[in-house]
Each structure stands twice: as structure tokens, then as C-alpha cells.
Amino acid sequence: MTTKQETASPSVRLEAVYKARTRLQGVAQHTPLQHHIHLSEKYGCEVWLKREDLQPVRSYKIRGAYNKMASLAEAQRKRGVVCASAGNHAQGVAFACRKLGIAGTIFMPAVTPNQKVDKVRLFGKQWVDVVLCGDTFDDAYGQALAFSKSEGRPFIHPFDDLHVIEGQATVGLEILDDCAAHPPDLLLLPIGGGGLAAGVTSVFRQLHPETTIIGVEPAGAPAMYESIKQKRLVQLDKIDAFVDGAAVRQVGHYTFHICRNTLDEIALIPEGLVCATILELYNEEGIVVEPAGALSIAALRLLGNKWQGKKVVCIVSGSNNDITRTEEIKERALLYEGLKHYFLISFPQRAGALREFLNNVLGPDDDITRFEYTKKSHRERGPALVGIELKRKEDYQALLKRMDKHRISYQTLNDNPMLFEMLV
């Protein structure tokens, strides 16, 4: 989807971005731009990673939050600030509160994992008060806005604020500084609300417009993609919130109008591919990333041959991954790669039926990872939920052939979303 409008002028001023960089000195790190040999060999291009996961709060969010808060008038600072977030933005605001000596009230959904809440308190110390409310981000966001208005305190928006966008834009300055002799041919960056994308693309369009820029969104939350496609701000009715750092129902007003003029394309990445990428980075490289942080690297698999031999920069936006999500990440990755399949199988209610299935149907490298069966009285057959993990994707068709050969009565669940969600 080509979206760049050649005649449009950037909405973010370079002068403001340079000022933001000065404010951030000693606060946000100039993170490394690392050449990644393995990924380069794997995809046939020169892959460089912008490691924003190495920031003090383990994401780029400190840049925008601090720049916004450092720009406040003294009277505003004395009143304290308010924000709503379920993760990285809250940590960035908390860090900035302590650094600047500004009191902050941070609204987070009541269902936010304790690990994330504790990290916000750790970064903010005595300067922040965490309010847990509602079941969703939208609930917390609504209460935060109401509190901000009633108390007359500045609201620190996670993305739809020019000072926040200018802070995130400093990522772009650093990339160009670190590869001045050979700027990237392609830049891949994640999109959530659009603050990072709006800032970095604005810098590139003014300093090195030749670079192609592809924004990367989770397929289950394509808010920017749909907005640019429909040429208006779109609020999605339903999203898959798994890539929580980039899953929003609606992007910002500022970010939409900037990105529609600065992005060349938007790529939508299946959540399963994101999970597979997280596991690959951890197992092969020892790099820990959160789902949103894996988006740009996951996009490398979809590039094809167009960028062979070219210089590609991927922004790794964060590493605040909750360890309790590991099993879900593994499950989604296996499903996406075609290595795990669920079936409803109708077994004869007699002794030896399961043994026959194991001996005749299951392949030598196949593994049953889930089996749920309750014997029914006065029935000839009973249904079982069976999960089977394969060693190779190609083994699936052979498994189905053996099931058909031995007249197994079964129904696949992977391609039946309603049944899959109900039973698995």
C-alpha cells in the first residue's frame, strides 16, 4: 500500500527535534545501532538493529515522556502530571517524574500484571501514585482524562502530542548519525499509536528522503493501516491485544496526519509470526524482546528478494516482556508455523482404542501435547480434544492420511476459529 504524498511537508520541525535531543542528554541513552550477522545471512541483506530495548526503562517511551514533561511550564510542573498506560509509557512517565521531581498520577487497568505495576513504582519511587481502575486500557484512559481535567493537571499522552512525537523522533537522528556514510535503504519500524513512526519518518523525510520506510503493525490491530486506507481516522471495533505495545483501537490525530504523508507502506504481521520471532531471537541470539519489539524483525521474513544486498535498519522498540506469557508465545508460534494442530476425535468407547490410535496413526516424531476425554455412559463413541505437535510442517498431511486410512472420525480445529476459541 503506497501512501507517501510527495507534495506534503513534514509536520515535525527539525529544530524541535534537536532541542529534544539536548533535553534528553543524560536521561535517554544513545542506543547502539548493531550490525546483525546472522539475520543478514538469513535474509540476504545488511541488517542493522536499533536497540531501543536497551534504554533505562527498556523501551523508547522515555524519550517522548521526558521531552513532554521537560517542556512544561513551572506552574504546570508544580500541579503534577497524569497519564494512562498499561506498560511502557507508564514506566517512561514514572522515570521522568523522578528525574524531574514532578509528582505523577498513573492510571493503569486493574488487570495489569503485578510485575508491570511494580516496575512503574520502582522507576517513579515516591514521585508517583499508581491508580488501578477498570478492566481495560480504555477504562483507565477515561478515568485519567477525567482526573486530569478535574484537578487541572497536564495529561501526558502516550503518542498524540507533538512534544512526545518530537522526543521519539530523536531515534531517527541517532540512526542517521550512526550511519552517516551509508544511510539505510530501508527502515522498518513498529506502529502502535504512531508516535515513534510519526517522529522518525519526519526526520528521515527531511534529512534523507531516499530511504524507504515501512511501518509494521500487528495484523490483529491494523489501526493505522485502515485509517490511511480509508483516508480518515478509523476506530477499530475489535482488536487482538496480544501485541500489547502496539495494539490500539485508534491512532492519534497528529500521528495519522503525519504518517499518511511520510510512510511508503504498512506491513501487517500475524501475531503468530511475532511469537516465532521472539523465540528465535531468544534461542539463537539471547535477545529478549516484547511482542511490539519483535514487529520490525518479523517483517524481514515478508520482504522477499527486493532488498537483497541492501542496508535495512529495524527499530527494536522494547523488551518489557512478561515471563508468564512464555507458554502463550510458544503456543502461538507453533500454530503459526504449522507445527501444532488440534482435533476433535471421536473414539470408540472400548478398551484399546487409544492404543490403536497411538500405534497406527501417530508418526514417530509426533507428540500428543493435550488430551481431554471423558467417557460417556451408554454411548458407543466419545469425543476427545487432542493436541498434536509435529517436528516438521510437512508431517501434517501424512498424519491426516493415516487418520483417514484407519477411519478415524475427526474434525480439525485450527481452521475453525469459533470451535478453537471455545475448546482450546
DSSP 146-213: HHHHHHT--B--SSSSHHHHHHHHHHHHHHHHHTTTS--SEEEEE-SSSHHHHHHHHHHHHH-TTSEE
Summarised one tens digit per residue, pLDDT across range 31-42 is 999 999 999 999
Structure confidence at residue 381 (pLDDT):
81
**Nearest CA among 386, 357, 351, 355 for reference residue 371:** 386
| Residue 280 φ/ψ, nearest 5 degrees | -65, -45
Is the confidence at residue 59, as pLDDT, over 90?
A: yes
At CA 410, angle to CA 405 and CA 415, rounded to 5?
115
Check if the beta carbon of residue 51 is closer than 8 Å to that of residue 285. no
CATH class of 73-151: alpha beta
Structure confidence at residue 378 (pLDDT):
62
Q: Which has more confidence, 186 or 3?
A: 186
Structure confidence at residue 201 (pLDDT):
98
How many other CB atoms are there within 10 angstroms of residue 30's CB atom?
A: 14
Domain 14-60+162-331 has CATH 3.40.50.300: no
Check if the beta carbon of residue 269 is closer than 8 Å to that of residue 218. yes
Tell the residue number behind the cell numbers 523488551, with chain if given: 319
d(CA 188, CA 135): 33
Look up residue 339 and give its three cell numbers: 507445527
Q: What percent of the chain has pLDDT over 90?
A: 82
Per-residue pLDDT, averaged over 343-351, amounts to 89
Burial of 140 (0-12, 13-18, 19+ CB in 10 A): buried
Element (H, E) at 403: helix 395-405
Summarised one tens digit per residue, pLDDT across range 213-242 is 999 999 999 999 999 999 999 999 999 989
Active site members: 61, 317
Look up residue 232 and give its three cell numbers: 480518515
d(CA 379, CA 196): 60
Q: What is the mean pLDDT of the chain?
A: 93
Structure confidence at residue 10 (pLDDT):
45
Is the confidence at residue 2, as pLDDT, over 50?
A: no
Task: Show Cβ contacts of residue 189 under 8 Å, excluding neighbours closer than 6 positions.
Answer: 196, 197, 200, 201, 213, 214, 215, 216, 296, 314, 315, 317
d(CA 304, CA 346): 42
Task: Show Cβ contacts of residue 9 under 8 Å, excluding neighbours closer than 6 positions.
Answer: none
At position 334, the amino acid (one-letter code) is L
Structure confidence at residue 184 (pLDDT):
98
Structure confidence at residue 6 (pLDDT):
41
Look up residue 10 and give its three cell numbers: 513534514
Q: Which residues pair with 313 in a beta bridge?
A: 48, 187
**Nearest CA among 84, 92, 147, 82 for reference residue 112:** 84
Structure confidence at residue 350 (pLDDT):
83
Pick among 3.90.550.60, 3.10.450.50, 3.40.710.10, 3.30.70.260: CATH of 338-423? 3.30.70.260
Let me know if the fold of 14-60+162-331 is the same as that of 73-151. yes
Summarised one tens digit per residue, pLDDT across range 105-155 is 999 998 888 888 999 999 999 999 999 998 878 888 999 999 999 999 999
Domain boundaries defined on the chain: 14-60+162-331, 73-151, 338-423
Summarised one tens digit per residue, pLDDT across range 299-323 is 999 988 889 999 999 999 999 888 8
Is the confidence at residue 3, as pLDDT, over 50?
A: no
